[in-house]
Structure 1
């Protein structure tokens, strides 16, 4: 065999081997939808709101970026044709997650998170923002879902004023949650003071960074994660809103995805392809094990925790806690810190009752309700952006 024939043969062998290696990646990438444009990320663009003329839609487009339970984005907005400066925010009960949130407490916290983002954005856009809670009266707790349809959480009124840029505005466009590892550097006294000073006469922010509290709170977090992982109906609720690939993310634009664990780049598409082709890898015991493992990794890389505690557990306090949580997120970002909610220990379904009682006994001994538990620290890397719906979907009719 001459050298040219040998070279051609070696080339064909190399190509065949290469094809065997690349074929799975090609198949996985196709299943992932690698060439699909991520429309679900458009709301994160800083000029997204500019395409809308109505200031109510502009403000709400910022609220859409706020933290929310299970990324369900459970917000619904109604407008009044006779009042061009106001809108009414409703809790969308059809987007509730009843297994982990049977009392709809997290749903109310989520409403508050939205309202605070609207307030920060409205001020930066040159408006005063008045927020009146429950303008139609309190919910009938005995007919809660019906009340949510009939009664607004808040009336938001925007009045033209001088532009007053908020130092926190730029941080609206950062992902609210970072589930990755945090650096071991402890929070400084100045950082701790800046976060705790966000508290009000009705709500407290407490930051814990000593070894005993880190161990105790980390223990609460892990107990709760293991308990939740062992409740099939709760895990199934999360599985039902998992979006395995780009096709599903563009179609639904809410819920969970692989980015939630910080996976990006080509590895994101590899994992999405695998989960798309083999759905069982993200269900049942496999999903439970992965949830516990990821929680343990988070706990192992946490230099501080923060708790938001309210005097009572009224619907108003829940909403105000959500507003405070948004301020906490934005303030943390302004300090170069990241946060991640780890609030399973605060959930109110039966299997969590003992853990809920224990953490309240330790951290709310004088009474009150712990509304949020989060980890805080300097992130090792930036978190990817999560799915967001088209803001027009939130409005009952386009203003």
Structure 2
């Protein structure tokens, strides 16, 4: 009788523990927003652009899928009120990240990624796109934000043309960045050649490294750059302000950082989102820095190749052209079964990074040449999730 009573008591305790655990898990998942519709992912739907009658807006709905620095989506589009086949692209001066990108170089590279998606989508949809960069001249660097607001990055003119299948177009709907480990296999000669063919602009170079010496050296630059950035408080604060902790915040803002952008998905994503929302201290600066460094170390240890985009100078036009090449490089990689991840912290221009910035340029760039992008390249071992995007109409302005 005593054993039966003890067993019954233990069973009741177990039921209570399991019930409490189930309730806690439910609270976490509800707090995470597991039942909220993911409106921030709507632009990734292949039918999304069909809702827009204006061909310019159709193309904008493709351009916003492009890779962009810190997922700030720093684009503004002004539709020409007189010519319904013309629009102008502006850099959004209110979406800068001045701590990590003090000269807005990455913002300008992001203008190029957008424009290349526009060009590729235009051909697919039956429009020839003529892109005139800085039609009113480059910026006045003495008052950069005001100049960004006043001068367009590009004037885009559309002309009806027979639809032209572009082999890169289908890959626009895949996430541009995969931070996971890559397979150890080197790129085949055919893959390397195909990536090299992405380079089209004069004055923009593309180098691919997969020999062990350069892979090890560039991996070390990636890790060192990440460790430096992770130790700068003002940069961590800038990143914290654009981190979206749960589905509700992602639907509200639709830009910035989130857990899936760091490779956390599924059950674990919702559990972590719930925990961080309820206990924000879990996402403290030290924990985030440690995770960033560990992630980069793991990535560097599972990277068979790196690609580097360089320009002969560092003008705003050259920065945009580098971004256009980067879009083609990403899409070409996808078409070959490869993925990419920027590891460009070492190329950032704030004081703490100066020594490493100068070092990598001494190693890999001739005098006057600027390294615009450093990216990992390889075959993925796991898929990546798409990141937040704002609605296409939110980019339109007067």
Place the TM-score, normalised by the shorter chain, in its bin. over 0.9
Q: Partners in 2 of 1:208 and 1:217 — Cα distance?
A: 9
Query: Does residue 248 of structure 2 align to residue 247 of structure 1?
Result: yes
In structure 1, the gaps of 5 or more residues are none
Deviations 1:59-103 (CA, angstroms, capped at 9, x unpaired): 000000000000000000111211100110000011000001111
Matches for 1:103-122 after TM superposition, within 5 Å: 103-122=103-122
Deviation at 1:31, TM superposition (A): 1.3
| Cross-structure match for 2:135 | 135
Contact 1:196 1:204 (C-alpha < 8 Å) held by counterparts: no
In structure 2, the gaps of 5 or more residues are none
Matches for 1:313-352 after TM superposition, within 5 Å: 313-352=314-353
Contact 1:117 1:326 (C-alpha < 8 Å) held by counterparts: yes
RMSD: 1.8
| Cross-structure match for 1:358 | 359
Matches for 1:187-336 after TM superposition, within 5 Å: 187-200=187-200, 201-336=202-337
**Count of aligned residue pairs for this structure pair:** 397
Deviation at 1:223, TM superposition (A): 1.1
Deviation at 1:361, TM superposition (A): 0.5
Deviation at 1:17, TM superposition (A): 2.9
Q: Partners in 2 of 1:55 and 1:152 — Cα distance?
A: 20
Q: Partners in 1 of 2:75 and 2:284 — Cα distance?
A: 28
Q: 1:121 to 1:138 in 2, by over 3 A?
A: same
Deviation at 1:7, TM superposition (A): 10
Deviation at 1:195, TM superposition (A): 1.1
Q: Partners in 2 of 1:179 and 1:218 — Cα distance?
A: 14
Q: Secondary structure at the match of 1:353?
A: helix
Q: Partners in 2 of 1:147 and 1:389 — Cα distance?
A: 24
Q: Secondary structure at the match of 2:374?
A: strand
Matches for 1:163-174 after TM superposition, within 5 Å: 163-174=163-174
Q: Partners in 1 of 2:8 and 2:293 — Cα distance?
A: 52
Relative to structure 2, which stretch is displaced further, 372-381 or 133-142?
A: 133-142
TM-score, reference length from structure 1: 0.96
Contact 1:197 1:205 (C-alpha < 8 Å) held by counterparts: no
Query: Does residue 59 of structure 2 align to residue 59 of structure 1?
Result: yes
Deviation at 1:28, TM superposition (A): 0.9
Q: Secondary structure at the match of 2:206?
A: strand
Q: Partners in 1 of 2:221 and 2:33 — Cα distance?
A: 39
Q: Partners in 1 of 2:198 and 2:250 — Cα distance?
A: 35
Deviation at 1:15, TM superposition (A): 3.3
Query: Does residue 88 of structure 2 align to residue 88 of structure 1?
Result: yes
Q: Secondary structure at the match of 1:84?
A: coil
Deviation at 1:146, TM superposition (A): 0.5
Q: Partners in 2 of 1:29 and 1:6 — Cα distance?
A: 34
Q: Partners in 1 of 2:284 and 2:21 — Cα distance?
A: 28
Relative to structure 2, which stretch is displaced further, 111-120 or 293-302?
A: 293-302
Deviation at 1:54, TM superposition (A): 0.4
Deviation at 1:16, TM superposition (A): 2.0
Contact 1:281 1:287 (C-alpha < 8 Å) held by counterparts: no
Matches for 1:364-383 after TM superposition, within 5 Å: 364-383=365-384
TM-score, reference length from structure 2: 0.96
Deviation at 1:133, TM superposition (A): 0.5
| Cross-structure match for 1:155 | 155
Deviation at 1:260, TM superposition (A): 1.2
Contact 1:239 1:283 (C-alpha < 8 Å) held by counterparts: no
Q: Secondary structure at the match of 1:94?
A: coil
Deviation at 1:275, TM superposition (A): 0.9
